[in-house]
Amino acid sequence: MKAAKFVHIGNARPGLYGKVISEIARKGVCPFCPAQLTNFHKNPFRKKKFWIVTDNMYPYKPVKRHLLLIHRKHIEHLSEITKGAWQELHAVIAEECRHEKITGGTLLLRFGDTKYIGSSVTHLHAHLVQS
């Protein structure tokens, strides 16, 4: 499978993040799939049935909190999310908002062709951000 399938170098921010995405592209792997996640993501994470929850290693600036919610199975489009995964996503967001005392923020769900969404990773994931 071609490296472009998993990451889009042109959407990566310059600097360290851009270098990491270039390395991932060279290796031709998905950085969010569970088998590869610990090779590229050094923050601790919690596994749920359908989702992985972790702090973003490259948070948007400036923010108080930036979590990644990564679908455990490699999927790329909303149409692939099961009812159970949607329900768990809702529960995880509510739990994180309570636990982290997030009283307002942004939820951004990245899916589909990266040339239309500005994402550097094709694997479906969400960002929960508190500014």
Q: How far apart are CA 18 and CA 34, in angstroms?
A: 21
Q: Which residues make Cβ contacts (< 8 Å) with residue 95, sequence separation at least 6?
A: none
Q: What is the pLDDT of residues 41-82, one digit of tens each?
A: 999 999 999 999 999 999 998 999 999 999 999 999 999 999
Residue 77 exposed, middle or buried by CB count within 10 Å (0-12, 13-18, 19+): exposed
pLDDT of residue 3: 38
pLDDT of residue 4: 44
